[in-house]
Homo-oligomer: A and B are copies of this chain.
Amino acid sequence: METPRQRARKQTMDDIVRLGREQLATVTPTELSLRGIARELGIVSSAIYRYVKDRDELLTLLIVDAYDELGATVEDAVAAASRRSPRARALVACQAVRAWALREPSRFALLFGTPVPGYAAPADRTVEPGTRVPAVLLALLEEAHRSGELEPPSGPLPRPVRRDMEEIRREYGLTVPSASLARGIGLWSALVGAVSFEVFDQYGPDTFADPGAFFDLHLESLITAVGF
């Protein structure tokens, strides 16, 4: 049961998110212009507030939108490689993150770049989509462990780290050893760091003729460190 009004509203909301996404290509998240969206929507500037409470609300919509697309992309890539080893699929997942980020630099920046000051993402709407990619990596880690393919990193685990890891293991019902979990989390942050460097041009100018090759090498090293 969908009244014309509801359909029109849904359409307008979609348009708003789409136009916001387009704005992000040329503008930083803090500079998102509600007036600009209204203008392109062919609507007077104040009317936009019928759909979006304020700029923070728009930000939330775009964040969820981006997280969902990234999550789906990575999940699809991993699913398409379902017959390969956990290690190989982890590589695929990380490469999918990089590829998406290079395709959507501003949306990657929205998710992993400088947070907008004064804006706190509402946990009830962003946490779930935001954990999809880490969840994929964790699941692979867990699978590798269960099938005996995971070799636990050597070296002792400092007590405070062990405590934190055990807390996480309990919370998510993981069986993977704490040391491996810690490396896994490290992989996640290092991955985002490496992608950020490329997307934000943090390596010097023209450092790499073939950045993809460097990324893959770096990634292998990181994944090996996890024990995959």
A residues adjacent to B (C-beta < 8 A): 26-31, 106, 109, 112-118, 123, 127, 131, 153, 155, 157-158, 160-161, 163-164, 167-168, 182-183, 185-186, 189-194, 196-197, 200-205, 207-210, 213-214, 216-218, 220-222, 225
- In the complex, what's the smallest C-beta–C-beta distance from A170 to chain B, in angstroms? 13
Once the chains bind, are A210 and B160 in contact (CB under 8 Å)?
yes
A82 and B46 alpha carbons, distance in the complex (Å): 62
* Copies of this chain in its oligomeric complex: 2
Of chain B, the residue at the smallest CB distance from A25 is: B117
Question: What are 16 inter-chain pairs, A to B, with CB distance below 8 A?
Answer: A26-B117, A28-B116, A106-B117, A112-B202, A113-B200, A127-B204, A157-B217, A158-B213, A185-B207, A185-B218, A186-B217, A189-B203, A190-B190, A190-B218, A190-B222, A192-B197
User: B30 and A218: CB pair below 8 A?
Assistant: no
Q: How far is the CA of A53 from the CA of B205 in the complex (A)?
A: 26
> In whole angstroms, how far apart are the Cα atoms of A161 and B116 in the complex?
36
A194 touches B202 (CB 8 A): no
Chain B hits for A210, CB < 8 A: 160-161, 163-164
Query: What distance in Å separates the Cβ of A151 from its nearest Cβ neighbour in chain B?
Result: 14
Residues of B within 8 A of A161 (CB): 210, 213-214, 217
- Evaluate contact between B217 and A158: CB separation under 8 angstroms: yes
State in angstroms the CA–CA spacing of A144 and B68 once bound together: 45
